[in-house]
Structure 1
Amino acid sequence: MIIQPTSLAALAWAGAASGSAAESWRIGTVLSARPLGINPDGMMVLQIGAVAVETEAPTGQQLPAQFQVRVLTLGAQPQLELMLPQTAAPAAQVAMRERLPQQNGYAPLLATLDALAQRPALRQLPAYLRPALAALEHVVRTPTEITRGEGLEEAIKRSGLFLESQLAEPNLDMAGLSQEDWKGALLRLASLLDDYLPARRASSSSSETPPPLQQRGLQAQPRALLPLSLLDDDVDALLSRLHGEVHAALARVEVAQLEATTASAWMIEIPLQGEDGRDILQVQLQQNAEGGTGSSWTFGFAIDLPGLGPLQGELQLRDVRLSVRLWAERADTVHRLEQQFGPLRQALSATGLILDQLSCQQGLPQSTHQHSAILLRTMA
């Protein structure tokens, strides 16, 4: 369920969301809550911590006088998970609750890898650690790879989301998989860093990237900047930072895997080697059943490129009919994309596809996912 501030609590909520109550409103935090009543608009008013919010009243269920909620996402429209201590939670929900406060985006990890790659002192690391770092860098894809159909398919397959299903395949090349799969490379490096740095630190990034949940929608994620204090030759400090970031990235992959067990779409993130840095391509892939008329596919993506700014796109394919919608935050990026529409139309026509729509709008779309108005109910 989308939680929105009441008019009386707007300033209090804005303070909590912007960081003045950051410790209370971190993703994964459990907060005490109680219902205050129904307002004239028919919305239920709740007190959550020290903040009053309004939300849709749950259908067919009466909330207890006291209960708890867990923070799933922050921002102008946060999402909270209602926790009712009635029965034992399914294992997947327990695992999700454990990983949500541990996860963070890939951008801090990729920035730390870049910084380590530029340090001559890296050659002084233990011999067993250097190949694991190289293997993680190896699975970062290039733009050339993902702009080909087979290259994008391979990048999705090796994104970490499908690692366990590949492990069940016969005649598996275990060594090759650990070097080609993002999660496999993360697991290998995490294990070695656990031995090299026994006292693991939490990810020290100053910002949290919302988890890859379907109800959250696509997110264009910018590159991360390292603190100036870490831009010297202190490799141990970078490795300590990397230690926490690797575990945060692993938790993020597992959040996406757990989400895929109950959702109808895949949320996939692919690290990319960009110009003077690394970027994250987020992909949402969904097959839509259409009764007896067959099915259609929806392919969404989001990326934040230094030269273009945040971008999102949605492609809908029904048989041979294709609709393409693009969004860009910057007006100059909209103009640059529209200049490529002619060649794109010609390329699509040559494949036999019928282009029903091709558009680009300024501003990023708001999530309209079907689960965005549901308060997730799990058992504490």
Structure 2
Amino acid sequence: MRIDLVDFRSTSPAGSSSPSLLPEWRVGALLQVVAVRDAASGQLWLNIGGQRHPARLASGNTAGPANGEVLQVRVLRNSPVLALETLSTSTRMGTEAEATVVANAMRRFVPRQESAALMLANLSWLAQGKNGASELPKAVMQAATKLWQALPDADSLGDPEVLENAIRRSGTFLETNLADAARAGTADPKLLANDLKALMLTLSRALREHGARPAAAHSDTAMNAPVPTARGPLTVLNAAPATFSMLEAADQQLNELSRQTDGALARLTTAQITSTSPDPAVQSMLVELPVRHEDRASMLRLRVEHDHSRKHSGGGDSWSVEAAIDLGQVGALHAKVTLAGHRIGVQLRAESPAIVEALSARAGELEAILRESGLEIDRIVCLHGMPVGDTGARPARLLDVRA
């Protein structure tokens, strides 16, 4: 959801000594605001730092935030209007301590998050033993190799059990699995040992123990990626070339891989935070799963949403599953499946006309399989182009300061 401030002038009570926050608002800044609704007109205001500013919805939820709703927002642009993107919402009924923890976590991880594509490209470079791989410390190479080998194989994900296992150890559920193991007093060593977040943490630690300084890496090789959110179009994370091809010194490679690993961890943590929903009736989960195909890797993005808000009115539960992946030279592929009761709808999108044609040619087979499973077909469509919609997210750094 994107919200624009329509008037930059403060509307604080007369005599207020609170200075305006506007000079401090920079693109990428994270703020916590409170929505205020006029009881008679429904006019939306945002209370920011003790000042109220009139606002309007620019995109997203047509109803907008409710009175008293707390929003975590990011500044998208400050000209010609001040545009804010909502990253998370909560009600005042939630504990103040919990809201503070979430806000602090977002401030910490969002500016550091980076697509894992660059890290994956360099892991592939090392796995193939290309130039410079033999010069890195043995412990770093062992950690990098173990992470690379733990990536699920793309060809095997057609098996539901394999896909389920890959999602469970994607890193999204590491803390949950550890908590469950602590309560039960037992743990599955194989599950925890192959968890991708745990393996990234091991790699990050090995890099730092051998002198890696992530802050010393070249910032111009960073890969811009939209902030992971639980709403809006599910865009792909594009593959990337190995930056090790431009670095010859081992210390530079250590710094580079350390920054990329830390950025991937920050992004994973950000996705975990944004998957928490203040609305118990609508649960949404975002998973970004690295998958390996021969000597390269891609990011498979998955979003699962369960909506049972209409259950009490007899409407029943509804589910939706979305997936998006970069297929390399042929472009991106997007799929969305919706299930309401026994009615199912399938929407397939691709950037390549040839892929769209191939999907359309086999749509009849898919329909037959679904009908044999006892489902009623709502629609099966194959479209050219990716989902569009303005969520406020932009493929740019949160803050770019240049001398």
Q: Please, what TM-score do these two structures have when normalized by structure 2?
A: 0.70
Q: Aligned match of 1:286 in 305, 330, 339?
A: 305
The 5 A counterparts of 1:220-235 are 220-227=236-243, 230-231=245-246, 233-235=248-250
Distance (whole Å) between structure 2 residues aligned to residue 81 and residue 258 of structure 1: 10
Amino acid at match of 1:240: N
Could you tell me whether the CA contact under 8 Å between 2:127 and 2:145 is conserved in 1? Answer: no
State the Cα distance separating 1:103 from its structure 2 match.
0.6
The 5 A counterparts of 1:38-53 are none
Could you tell me whether the CA contact under 8 Å between 2:271 and 2:287 is conserved in 1? Answer: yes
What secondary structure does 1:128 align onto? helix
Is 1:108 aligned with 2:118? yes
Could you tell me whether the CA contact under 8 Å between 1:138 and 1:180 is conserved in 2? Answer: no
Is 1:186 aligned with 2:200? yes
State the Cα distance separating 1:153 from its structure 2 match.
0.9
Amino acid at match of 1:283: L
Q: Deviations over 1:176-211 (max 9, x none)?
A: 334311111111111111211253327733432112
Runs of 5+ consecutive residues of structure 1 not aligned to the other structure? 7-22, 34-41, 46-52, 62-68, 373-380
The 5 A counterparts of 1:254-265 are 254-262=269-277, 264-265=283-284
Is 1:251 aligned with 2:266? yes
Partner of 2:19: none
Is 1:139 aligned with 2:150? yes
Q: Aligned match of 1:362 in 376, 384, 391?
A: 384
Q: CA, structure 1 residues 266+30, in 2 after alignment: closer, same or farther (shift >3 Å)?
A: closer
Partner of 2:348: 326
What secondary structure does 2:357 align onto? helix
Partner of 1:71: 74
Could you tell me whether the CA contact under 8 Å between 1:138 and 1:179 is conserved in 2? Answer: no
Greater shift, 239-248 or 315-324, is seen at: 315-324
State the Cα distance separating 1:146 from its structure 2 match.
1.3
Partner of 2:285: 266
Q: CA, structure 1 residues 112+342, in 2 after alignment: closer, same or farther (shift >3 Å)?
A: same
State the Cα distance separating 1:127 from its structure 2 match.
3.1
Distance (whole Å) between structure 1 residues aligned to residue 55 and residue 139 of structure 2: 54
The 5 A counterparts of 1:1-380 are 1-3=1-3, 25=27, 27=28, 29=29, 55-56=56-57, 71=74, 79=85, 89-118=99-128, 119=130, 121-167=132-178, 168-169=180-181, 170=184, 171-174=186-189, 176-201=190-215, 204=219, 205-227=221-243, 230-231=245-246, 233-262=248-277, 264-274=283-293, 276-289=295-308, 290-291=310-311, 292-367=314-389
State the Cα distance separating 1:296 from its structure 2 match.
2.4
Distance (whole Å) between structure 1 residues aligned to residue 133 and residue 359 of structure 2: 41
Amino acid at match of 1:250: L
State the Cα distance separating 1:271 from its structure 2 match.
0.7
Amino acid at match of 1:152: L
CA RMSD after TM alignment: 4.1
Amino acid at match of 1:366: V
Q: CA, structure 1 residues 316+59, in 2 after alignment: closer, same or farther (shift >3 Å)?
A: closer
State the Cα distance separating 1:136 from its structure 2 match.
0.9
Amino acid at match of 1:165: T
Greater shift, 316-325 or 157-166, is seen at: 316-325
How many residue pairs are counted as aligned between the two chains? 336
Q: Deviations over 1:131-187 (max 9, x none)?
A: 21122112211122211111111111111111111113232134x334311111111
Amino acid at match of 1:142: D
Runs of 5+ consecutive residues of structure 2 not aligned to the other structure? 7-24, 34-42, 47-53, 58-63, 89-95, 394-403
Q: CA, structure 1 residues 129+59, in 2 after alignment: closer, same or farther (shift >3 Å)?
A: closer
Distance (whole Å) between structure 2 residues aligned to residue 114 and residue 5 of structure 1: 45
Identical positions, percent: 28
What secondary structure does 1:100 align onto? helix
Distance (whole Å) between structure 2 residues aligned to residue 349 and residue 368 of structure 1: 35
Distance (whole Å) between structure 1 residues aligned to residue 242 and residue 126 of structure 2: 11
